[in-house]
Structure 1
């Protein structure tokens, strides 16, 4: 009997923003001995995903000087000021140039408790379900990290610049599997957010 072929999975890590509310590059904030962006990259590389693309934009030179980009792909969103969807679309287009993907996982660089076990759980849930979206649930929301099969690639590419993956998740909620991930609510937008994060240091 032939083995079922493992779906080809790509990860897009969004890291193009200029951290305007924070005042410094959130990508380079340190938590547990590693900066947030390097941690996100390591998670992607340690997961069972096949390809990882990081999308840079603002503060690119500063970020590049402090990050190990080996074994991943880097794309630049020249129009990062247009919003998150524009960066997501740059990353998805890059992945589609690299390989014929079955699915993509959208990650942020500032969710420090995302780990490779969570990413693999999303991949496994998709493979054992008929759902074409796998989203994380935290608080009363569904959001990223989120997995989308190729069925929804066009929907992601049609988002306007200021929209995010959440719009597709909610529009097609009946096609969505859910993983509970309460720590997904922890992200870094302000200095106060960062202070709260480092108070949880493990």
Structure 2
């Protein structure tokens, strides 16, 4: 069973208000993200909240999601992920790490990532898209027939370094990794072993892990909203 962990515990200091309650197409970010995951077939959805818990729950009513609270959200994203993992079912065999400020990800992208991970359950799956697409949201989406297995090293794969028969793209383009990523339960311990200040990067670049990049045509995986200026572009 796959568990989605929606990280929404940040203090949103630069935004000035909880990002979970910002709106996209008439719905809050948190409702949009949770609904997309539900429609993608993720039965267990855990939302990790922080100090804005009461404000968020006053405006948003969970529809099957369970809420876990991070008492120290200032410790960073990895601390919230730990809270979510601890709240997950013992039957979970993977953790889909989702960000609450990514409401523009297409539902079909979630489905594609999940389907791909189902065939690669010994690997961390990280979606990526072509750089430059974050400037204009990609709404069309074609199923990706090929993926590339990478090592734990943090290099960005470009068409120059990839098989040109798999990636027939202009050499000026490269890829950017995004979310949601899926971490198999076999790497659960790394989420608790790593230093908090290193975040998820420490987990996904640990020498013991196997990582698979999945190329998708959806800029929503790399588009998030940290400031009022970012949010204004969404409107």
Task: Give TM class, smaller chain.
Answer: 0.7 to 0.9
Secondary structure of 1:65's match?
helix
The residue number in structure 2 matching 1:179 is 215
Q: Matches of 1:36 and 1:184 in 2, distance apart?
A: 14
Q: How far apart are 1:129 and its partner, in Å?
A: 3.6
Backbone CA RMSD of aligned residues: 1.8
Q: Which stretch of structure 1 is more off in the superposition, 164-173 or 103-112?
A: 164-173
Partner of residue 125 from structure 1, selected from 82, 94, 116? 116
Which sections of structure 1, spanning at least 5 residues, go unmatched? 1-7
How far residue 159 of structure 1 moved from its aligned partner, in angstroms, is: 2.5
Alpha-carbon shift at residue 174 of structure 1 (Å): 4.6
What SS class does the counterpart of residue 162 from structure 1 fall into? Answer: helix
Q: Which residue is equivalent to 1:137?
A: 128
1:86 is aligned, of 74, 79, 98, to 79
175, 181, 196: which one aligns with 2:233: 196
User: Is 1:19 aligned to 2:12, yes or no?
Assistant: yes
Other structure's SS at 1:126 match: helix
In structure 1, the residue matched to 2:66 is 73
**Worse-superposed segment, 178-187 or 45-54:** 178-187
Find runs of 4+ consecutive structure 1 residues off by over 4 angstroms.
Answer: none
Q: Which moved more, 1:82-91 or 1:121-130?
A: 121-130
Q: Which runs of 5+ in 2 are unaligned?
A: 132-174
- Structure having the higher Rg: 2
* Conservation of the 8 A alpha-carbon contact between 2:6 and 2:97: yes
Inter-partner Cα distance in structure 1 for 2:228 and 2:73: 22
Structure 2 SS opposite 1:152: helix
Indicate the structure with greater helix content.
1
User: 1:19-72 deviations in whole A, cap 9, x for unaligned?
Assistant: 001111111111101011111111122222230000000211110111121311
Cα separation, partners in 2 of 1:163 and 1:40, compared to 1, 3 Å: farther
Do the aligned partners of residues 195 and 189 (structure 1) sit closer, same or farther apart at CA in structure 2, a change above 3 Å counting? same
SS of the aligned residue for 1:117 comes to: helix
Q: Give the whole-Å Cα distance in 2 for the aligned partners of 1:39 and 1:130.
A: 27
What TM-score, normalized to structure 1?
Answer: 0.86
- Matched with 2:104 is 113
Q: Distance in 1 between matches of 2:71 and 2:181?
A: 24
Q: Which residue of 2 aligns with 1:5?
A: none
Q: How many residues align?
A: 189
Give 1:114 shift: 1.9
Structure 1 Cα separation of the partners of residues 112 and 204 of structure 2? 18
2:52 is matched with 59
TM-score (norm 2): 0.74
Q: 2:184 aligns to what?
A: 149
